[in-house]
Chain A
Amino acid sequence: MYRYNDFDTAFLAERNAQFRQQVERRIDGSLTEEEFRPLRLMNGLYLQLHAYMLRVAIPYGTLNSGQMRQLALIAEKFDKGYGHFTTRQNIQYNWPKLPDVPDILDALGEVQLHAIQTSGNTIRNVTADHFAGAAADEIADPRPVAELIRQWSTDHPEFQFLPRKFKFAVTGSPNDRAVTRAHDIGVRMVRNAAGEPGYEILVGGGLGRTPMIGKVIRDFLPPEDLLPYLEAIVSVYNVLGRRDNKYKARIKITVHENGLDTYRDRVEARFAEIKPLFSGVDQQMLREIEDHFAAPAFRNAPTDAYDAARDANPAFRAWSDTNLAEHKANGYAIVTVSLKKHGDTPGDATAEQMRVLADLGEKYSHDELRISHEQNAILPHVHKSDLPAVYAALREAGLATANVGLISDIIACPGMDYCALATARSIPVAQEIAQRFDDLKLEHDIGPLKLKISGCINACGHHHVGHIGILGLDRAGVENYQITLGGDGTETAEIGSRTGPGFAYDEITDAIERIVLAYLDLRESPEETFLMAYRRVGADPFKAALYPEDKGKSRAA
């Protein structure tokens, strides 16, 4: 993975030293909150409901063991012994104290991590496929490109005050695990008819108040044009994007209001202007970055121990059925470690669990770990013969929940338990639903089902692209939960449709159960997933189950 050079290290140290002084000046009263707020936000420090919150970027979700250990140490020393992994491949600390934050940033700097541009109207943490560099279906590792974008966008003078925040996602696989179609810019590594590598560029996707699926602005961009073309897109947005209305400021609205063709013309014109300024240094940098991401030396060994353990241990078999994905190297597997134990907070890991993950990463996964936007941890390169040992260690640490991709593998944003913007809670809703389906012992029978919960219209919990989405709202001073169905965050992306009136806090779990039981009733076979069934029959049978008093009459949402 990428290692900082002297420039990166010096830059970060200088930023941290500046912020240390700014914090001191805030505490001694020489800076007002109004003056300090933009400075702390530039360094990822928010003020939430009950405390400050520090958001640390995990670039494209990749960590090494040393970094994970440091995250654990920070959780223990400066927080309440845990961290929360988010849908943007960040980690959030929910309880830092202001005077400690400069020390936390220094501790992060020691392991080449930071919180820069995790807030504000800037280019945020670049996310990528969490199976990057490991997936069997991958065309190329997306992380070098993500790292190139990270370096280009960090402290980019033209892009520190964009109309609104700006999010990139990159995937190197045809199966889109990085939700590229719901990002401001999505980069998909593709090959053209002649087999040459290049990029498909998507623009104007996003969730939130006005959810939109990204549109293809260039179906095949040659590799050497990548950075100037991306710069042209952001540059046009910087000029055209609306600054008069926060709700219309994202690029999805700019593209929508101006029309894709007009937007593309402007981008092409800008691209023609700036392309000559890119002397090829960017490509040289990309080559250097690629060297950092060379594949580990995979070993060739028998996998009998794995097969034997599957035969001997049904719990291990169940776990390996749900939590493993196909690796590109023979004899290897990608392990998804569920941070969704039934009844626990989605995406939370204790310091102790982080250390276990770090140790396993070091010992069994070539020192690599990943964090997924689905709020799980990944051991990307595990030889199958090591899986029984990995499973045993995970089990000991409460990390062996066999539910990846199932209904209890819920994405949930922090919601009103932490977030100052929330209109309702999401965590306890997730906890109760996961617990319910565990009690019913139904989730393996139900099969693949993505349930996603947001605590307000900002949609950090990606509810629009959940097969079942839940949006928590404040209706006349009471928590109310709206359901959407049929969303999809993959290469066949779709925004879910609202079923109708929402449900009270104490009704929502029953409502979800009714939807799922209706699915079990109407599916043609266990092979027909929830999403397939929804696409076949439409919303009506589910609405009938949700609103029995309506007897399935179509009801206005």
Chain B
Amino acid sequence: MPRAFTPKVVTANALLEGDVVYLTADDRWTRQLSEAELLTDEAVAAERLLSAERRQAEIVGAYLVDMVAGDNGPEPTHFREGFRRTGPSNYHHGKQAEV
């Protein structure tokens, strides 16, 4: 039996600001993880990543990251992505300050 595919989100950093962005289903880059497209099919995920990587004038370093479906959109499975979603813990800077 093939290994179950962990759902993914395409993420990157914005070219100009360097902050964390996620790819939405309608091909926008969003700052809010809740708006990101949760990819549950491995082939589709690979294809979405490829198309994201072509958008060099908007973003840097696109990659696929594990997520789970939550009540309010995708939720990180690892603490690193939790910090990327929120911002640093020593100051109220980054994403947490933007909402």
Measuring CB to CB, which residues of chain A are less than 8 angstroms from any residue of chain B? 26-29, 32-33, 47-52, 80, 94-99, 345, 416-418, 422, 425, 427-428, 431, 474, 477-479
Closest Cβ–Cβ distance, residue A518 to chain B (whole Å):
29
Are A50 and B60 closer than 8 Å at their CB atoms? no
Complex partner residue of B93 from A47, A80, A422, A474, CB under 8 angstroms? A80
Are A50 and B87 closer than 8 Å at their CB atoms? yes
Query: B90 contacts which chain A residues (CB < 8 A)?
Result: 345, 417, 427-428, 431
- Which among B2-10, B35-43, B44-52, B78-86 touches the partner chain? B78-86
Q: In whole angstroms, what is the CA distance A501 to B90 when docked?
A: 27
Query: A418 contacts which chain B residues (CB < 8 A)?
Result: 88
12 contacts between A and B (CB under 8 A): A27-B57, A48-B18, A49-B83, A51-B18, A52-B18, A98-B18, A345-B91, A416-B80, A417-B83, A417-B88, A477-B79, A479-B79
Are B88 and A99 closer than 8 Å at their CB atoms? no
Are A478 and B79 closer than 8 Å at their CB atoms? yes
Q: In whole angstroms, what is the CA distance A428 to B91 when docked?
A: 10
Q: In whole angstroms, what is the CA distance A417 to B78 when docked?
A: 14
Q: Which residue of B lies closest to A28 (CB)?
A: B57
* 3 cross-chain pairs, A with B, having the tightest CB-CB distances, nearest first: A417-B88, A29-B57, A52-B18
Q: Which residue of B lies closest to A97 (CB)?
A: B17
Further contacts, 16 of them, CB under 8 A, given A29-B57, A47-B61, A425-B83: A47-B13, A47-B18, A49-B84, A50-B20, A50-B94, A51-B18, A51-B19, A51-B94, A94-B93, A345-B91, A416-B80, A417-B83, A474-B79, A477-B77, A477-B79, A478-B79
Query: B19 contacts which chain A residues (CB < 8 A)?
Result: 50-51
Q: In whole angstroms, what is the CA distance A29 to B60 when docked?
A: 12
Q: In whole angstroms, what is the CA distance A427 to B83 when docked?
A: 13
Q: Does B72 contact A (CB under 8 A)?
A: no
Q: In whole angstroms, what is the CA distance A48 to B77 when docked?
A: 20
Q: In whole angstroms, what is the CA distance A97 to B17 when docked?
A: 5
Query: B61 contacts which chain A residues (CB < 8 A)?
Result: 33, 47
Q: Does B25 contact A (CB under 8 A)?
A: no
Q: In whole angstroms, what is the CA distance A427 to B87 when docked?
A: 13
Query: A49 contacts which chain B residues (CB < 8 A)?
Result: 20, 80, 83-84
Query: A48 contacts which chain B residues (CB < 8 A)?
Result: 18
Q: In whole angstroms, what is the CA distance A98 to B87 when docked?
A: 19
Contact A98 to B83, CB < 8 A, known contacts A29-B57, A50-B94, A428-B89 = no
Which of B25-78 touch A at CB < 8 Å? 56-57, 60-61, 77-78
Are A98 and B16 closer than 8 Å at their CB atoms? yes
Closest Cβ–Cβ distance, residue B65 to chain A (whole Å):
13
Q: Which residue of B lies closest to A45 (CB)?
A: B18
Closest Cβ–Cβ distance, residue A19 to chain B (whole Å):
16
Q: In whole angstroms, what is the CA distance A431 to B88 when docked?
A: 13
Q: In whole angstroms, what is the CA distance A47 to B61 when docked?
A: 9
Are B57 and A97 closer than 8 Å at their CB atoms? no
Q: In whole angstroms, what is the CA distance A427 to B80 when docked?
A: 15
Q: In whole angstroms, what is the CA distance A97 to B60 when docked?
A: 13
Closest Cβ–Cβ distance, residue B61 to chain A (whole Å):
7
Are B93 and A95 closer than 8 Å at their CB atoms? yes
Are A97 and B95 closer than 8 Å at their CB atoms? no
Q: Which residue of A lies closest to B60 (CB)?
A: A33
Query: A474 contacts which chain B residues (CB < 8 A)?
Result: 79-80
Query: A28 contacts which chain B residues (CB < 8 A)?
Result: 57
Q: Choose among B13, B18, B61 the residue with the greatest number of A CB atoms under 10 Å from its CB.
A: B18
Q: In whole angstroms, what is the CA distance A189 to B82 when docked?
A: 48
Closest Cβ–Cβ distance, residue A431 to chain B (whole Å):
7
Closest Cβ–Cβ distance, residue A43 to chain B (whole Å):
15
Closest Cβ–Cβ distance, residue A411 to chain B (whole Å):
15
Q: Which residue of A lies closest to B95 (CB)?
A: A50
Q: Choose among A99, A417, A474 the residue with the greatest number of B CB atoms under 10 Å from its CB.
A: A417
Are B56 and A33 closer than 8 Å at their CB atoms? yes
Are B13 and A416 closer than 8 Å at their CB atoms? no
Closest Cβ–Cβ distance, residue A45 to chain B (whole Å):
10
Contact A29 to B56, CB < 8 A, known contacts A416-B83, A427-B89 = yes
Closest Cβ–Cβ distance, residue B99 to chain A (whole Å):
14
Closest Cβ–Cβ distance, residue A13 to chain B (whole Å):
25
Contact A27 to B80, CB < 8 A, known contacts A51-B94, A431-B90 = no
Q: In whole angstroms, what is the CA distance A108 to B23 when docked?
A: 36
Q: In whole angstroms, what is the CA distance A97 to B84 when docked?
A: 17
Q: Which residue of A lies closest to B62 (CB)?
A: A33
Q: Which residue of B lies closest to A477 (CB)?
A: B78
Closest Cβ–Cβ distance, residue B91 to chain A (whole Å):
8
Are B16 and A97 closer than 8 Å at their CB atoms? yes
Q: Which residue of B lies closest to A31 (CB)?
A: B56
Q: In whole angstroms, what is the CA distance A429 to B15 when docked?
A: 31
Q: In whole angstroms, what is the CA distance A159 to B63 when docked?
A: 33
